[in-house]
Amino acid sequence: MIEDPRGPLQIFRDHESTSLRTFGMSETPPLLVAGEGARLYDAAGRDYLDFACGSGVTTLGHGHPAIRKAIQAQLDTGIWHIGAHLPHGRRAELYQELLAVLPAELTRINPANTGAEAVEVAVKAARFGTGRTEIIAFQGGYQGRTAGALSVTSYARIKRPFLPLMPGVIHVPYPYPRRSPFGRYGQTAEECAALCLEFLEQALSNPAGGVTDPAAILVEPIQAVGGVIIPPPGFLRELRRLCDRYGLLLVVDEVFTGFARTGRWFAFQYDGVIPDLVILAKGLSGSLPLAAVVGREEILGRWDPGLHSSTFHGNPVACAAAAASIRAIREEGLVERANEVGRWITEAYPQLRDIPIVGDCRGIGALHGIEIVEPEDGRPAPARIKPIRSEGVHRGLLLWECGWYGNVIGLVPPVVISRTEVSRAMEILAAILRDEAQHPGESA
């Protein structure tokens, strides 16, 4: 490394685009030099329990031996990139592994590099496959920040500076009973979901419903960035029914929820539906940048060559990592393991719920959200999130941030974490939240 007396953090401050959130967790984030399992280490040897997993990527933890071996083996061949214009064994291997864990009706795979790009692929495929234009997306939905993905994303703050975006997106309510889109707090999850579905169906069926040329419904089975919003059982099934009734494609965004994260291979399996297109990234490789859309023959088997393409598609090192990761999830029983991790996290809920700034604790598998509120009236408390995360860094616990209102602490540990590590993390978290409740904003 070039000698520079400023040190790395100052180089980020001076030269990195301010669009990156390098200082989002803490003004003095650790410079990490090693990782193993659920732990990351800084240069001084301090360890951090990783409950952020690089925004939900490292589901198998850091340095997983099977992924390491697969990456190493591919590096040793000297082929690190050849492009998708040539076939490669690792890409074929990944396709086989992927198809084996997805419904048999999904037979075609389009690789991509990031979740956002895969969303673009799915939107293009839905339009091409149906010859129609409109995408029905959801309030609270997050699909990434490239222009097309940003169009189906719902958050005004990150969209507004870049308008106009892709036209033809209609956002409809998502069942978040605690802050119901219908403004009536106190609904059950089932009532809230029923209202959302009724709204959607009437938008599709009413000649004045505002939907003109619908191609697809694009949905996250659980909104992760939205704050770990888990619709009640049957919600996706009803969306499938609406898609079938009105001739739309069901596009399920499993970028965050896929590959064991929620205690199933894919969260859509909780409802037993078969989507037309599934969007995958993050936990697909658990490590290197890789994404994919998997879909039915009649959609992804009909594209003209080159209708979507990108230089790094199907990178052999990333494909080797992903194939190894899928095998490891299967062979090491990590889907069930995610449920166990969920049970350990949930054991701490009662003590968290007693803390006045905790408005809600919810989660499934290894994906949980602790909603932080102002104790007087329960309104979202986004300003408390950074002090909590920053204090987490200080006490050796890395936390994620999410939520419609940016007021949810996300708990996204790797599924290989031990029970002792989960207990330790939850003790640290409870102590931080108690301190924050008593002395707001007095973080490290």
Ligand X SMILES: Cc1ncc(COP(=O)(O)O)c(C=O)c1O
CA-CA-CA-CA torsion for 420, 425, 430, 435, nearest 10 degrees? 130
Q: How far is the CB of 291 from ligand X (least distance, A)?
A: 6
Q: How far is the CB of 55 from ligand X (least distance, A)?
A: 6
Q: Pairing between strand 47-51 and 134-138? A: unpaired
Which residues have CB under 8 Å from 131's CB, separation 6+?
none
What is the dihedral sign for C-alpha 186, 191, 192, 195? negative
Which residues have CB under 8 Å from 96's CB, separation 6+?
323
Tokens of 439: 């002395």
Residue 112 and residue 337 in contact, taking contact as beta carbons nearer than 8 Å:
no
Burial state string for 3-25 with b = 16 or more CB within 10 A and e = fewer than 16: eeeeeeeeebeeeeeeeeeebeb
Residue number with CB closer to ligand X (21 or 85): 21
The whole-angstrom separation of Cα 123 and Cα 138 is 14
Which residues have CB under 8 Å from 229's CB, separation 6+?
140, 174, 175, 176, 222, 223, 369, 404
Cβ atoms within 10 A of the Cβ of 238, count?
A: 19
Residue number with CB closer to ligand X (219 or 381): 219
Q: How far is the CB of 189 from ligand X (least distance, A)?
A: 20
Residue number with CB closer to ligand X (115 or 214): 115
Q: How far is the CB of 256 from ligand X (least distance, A)?
A: 4
Q: How far is the CB of 86 from ligand X (least distance, A)?
A: 25
Residue number with CB closer to ligand X (228 or 397): 228
Q: How far is the CB of 142 from ligand X (least distance, A)?
A: 5
Q: How far is the CB of 355 from ligand X (least distance, A)?
A: 27
Residue number with CB closer to ligand X (204 or 322): 322
Q: How far is the CB of 186 from ligand X (least distance, A)?
A: 28
Residue number with CB closer to ligand X (53 or 225): 225
Cβ atoms within 10 A of the Cβ of 382, count?
A: 14
Q: Please tell me the total number of residues recorded for the chain in this structure.
A: 444
Residue number with CB closer to ligand X (55 or 133): 55
Which residues have CB under 8 Å from 118's CB, separation 6+?
110, 112, 255, 279, 280, 281, 291, 292, 293
Beta bridge partners of 362: 369
Q: How far is the CB of 436 from ligand X (least distance, A)?
A: 25
Q: How far is the CB of 56 from ligand X (least distance, A)?
A: 7
Residue number with CB closer to ligand X (114 or 443): 114
Residue number with CB closer to ligand X (55 or 423): 55
Closest residue to bound ligand X by CB:
115
Residue number with CB closer to ligand X (387 or 410): 410
List residues binding ligand X (CB under 6 A).
55, 114-116, 119, 142-144, 220, 224-225, 253, 255-256, 281
The angle that helices 419-438 and 334-347 make with each other, rounded to 10 degrees, is 40
